[in-house]
Amino acid sequence: MAFMSGPRQVGKSTLAKALTTAAGNYRSWDDSDFRRAWSRSPRSALADRAPGVLVLDEIHKDRQWKTRLKGYYDVEGPGDGIVVTGSARLDLYRRGGDSLLGRYLPYRLHPFTLGEREQPPAPDAALASTRPVWPLADVLRLGGFPEPLLGGSEARARRWSRLRLERLVQEDVRDLRAVSDLAALRVLADLLPERVGSLLSINSLREDLGAAHATVQGWLEVFASLYHCFLVRPYAKRMARAVRLAPKLYLYDTLQLAASSESARLENLTALHLLKACHFWTDTAQGNFDLFFLRDKEGREVDFLITRDNRPFWLVECKSNDLQPAPALLHFMGMLGEVRAFQLVSKPDYDRAYAATGLRVLDYERFLAGLV
């Protein structure tokens, strides 16, 4: 089986339907007839399954989906393959009860990126091609989700983003956790764009919301589980004076950030591209890749660090128009040893490599188009 998770409206159902050749092999939890049949007996509900890939869309909304799916799989087998999709992290539901470990492979679907291509590059081949498929200006203006990006209208993209967030708060959150104060949860969602790229203080959010620390932390975990936001944590290994506690927060939907905050959108978009690369390379068994940032007690900071099999792999610093190598970036390059380093600038077609240090300064569009 393949478990495919990702943000709401990122295209999971569309992709899953394209993988099956039989129309009757697509089953959705939103179909009340299938929902009733599945709850009584998964084998009976899928008795008319045709040859080809079977798609089970959003069945994680069933509280017992894992046990029922395991029973069906163990008796009937995978057939020509089973694809399970969900707009929440499917690994969240592995805890407790019978485990599906060894019966599936996980994949994570992300919004479109500048270098979206059929054959994504391997880690060591990244940046071999820097020609964008989607222009940076369009992705900044319309976001990376298929519907607003393909629609081409900035006004409709903003409306789509607003309605998507409302449905996430009103519907998806209830499938994961009982929340008594949805109004406060919506206020939290409205506060998060202001925190993008900064050290996240739950105490500050708690004071703004008038809620308990544990409540706010729980709500953030729900948002992360639903792919609304993600946290980038500080890297502390081999760094004696690293900041070890507060993470930084980013959003999957960059349209939630004000259009006037171009620098924040650029940093958020860079975080999304790097996270997608980490997820793709990890999910396709090319290594274990993780995303961090660097900050020490002297205030020196580099925006992003990718590790490969727990070793520093890439350093990435986001700048605006500063073409000179950032001192903090040079400092951490010397500390971490053999690591590729990039400084991103808002200067079209700029690309300069410093042979003495191995640092490469290039514009955002070139760099992002060279990733997955």
Q: Determine which helix (DSSP H) or strand (DSSP E) holds 115, and give its type and residue range.
A: none
Write the burial class of residue 237 (CB in 10 Å: 0-12 exposed, 13-18 middle, 19+ buried). exposed
Residues in the chain: 372
Q: In this predicted model, what pLDDT tens digit does every residue of 280-335 receive, in sequence order?
A: 999 999 999 999 999 988 889 999 999 999 999 999 999 988 999 999 999 999 99
Q: In this predicted model, what pLDDT tens digit does every residue of 15-67 receive, in sequence order?
A: 999 988 887 899 999 999 999 999 999 999 999 999 999 999 999 889 889 88
Contact 148, 166 (CB under 8 A): no
The edge-to-edge listing of strands for the beta sheet with 54-57 is: 26-28, 54-57, 82-86, 2-5, 105-108
Distance CA 112, CA 235 (A): 27
pLDDT grade for 92, boundaries at 50, 70 and 90: low
pLDDT at 98: 53
Q: Does residue 94 carry a pLDDT above 50?
A: no
Closest CA to 318 of 353, 282, 363: 363
- For the chain, where are the alpha helices, taking DSSP H only? 12-19, 32-40, 42-45, 65-76, 136-142, 146-151, 154-167, 173-176, 182-195, 202-209, 213-225, 262-283, 327-336, 364-369
Q: Does residue 97 carry a pLDDT above 70?
A: no
pLDDT at 294: 94
- Residue 33: C-alpha distances to residues 18, 58, 121, 155, 228 (Å): 23, 15, 43, 37, 30
Three-state SS for 129?
coil
Q: In this predicted model, what pLDDT tens digit does every residue of 354-365 receive, in sequence order?
A: 988 899 999 999
pLDDT at 241: 64
Angle between helices 213-225 and 202-209 (to 10 degrees): 110
Distance CA 353, CA 339 (A): 14
pLDDT grade for 96, boundaries at 50, 70 and 90: very low
Residue ranges per structural domain of the chain: 2-108, 123-369
Torsion angles phi and psi, residue 127, rounded to 5? 70, 10
| CATH code assigned to 2-108 | 3.40.50.300
CA atoms within 13 A on the CB side of 269: 32
The edge-to-edge listing of strands for the beta sheet with 229-234 is: 248-251, 229-234, 289-295, 301-308, 311-318, 340-345, 359-363, 351-354
pLDDT at 243: 63
Torsion angles phi and psi, residue 241, rounded to 5? -110, 35
Contact 82, 19 (CB under 8 A): no
Contact 59, 69 (CB under 8 A): yes
Closest CA to 282 of 125, 145, 129, 122: 122
What average pLDDT does range 99-107 have in this prediction? Answer: 85
Neighbour count for residue 317 (Cβ, 10 Å) = 24
| Mean per-residue pLDDT over the chain, rounded | 92
Contact 84, 2 (CB under 8 A): yes
Q: Which residues pair with 105 in a beta bridge?
A: 2
Q: Does residue 175 carry a pLDDT above 80?
A: no
Q: In this predicted model, what pLDDT tens digit does every residue of 228-246 receive, in sequence order?
A: 999 999 998 766 666 667 8
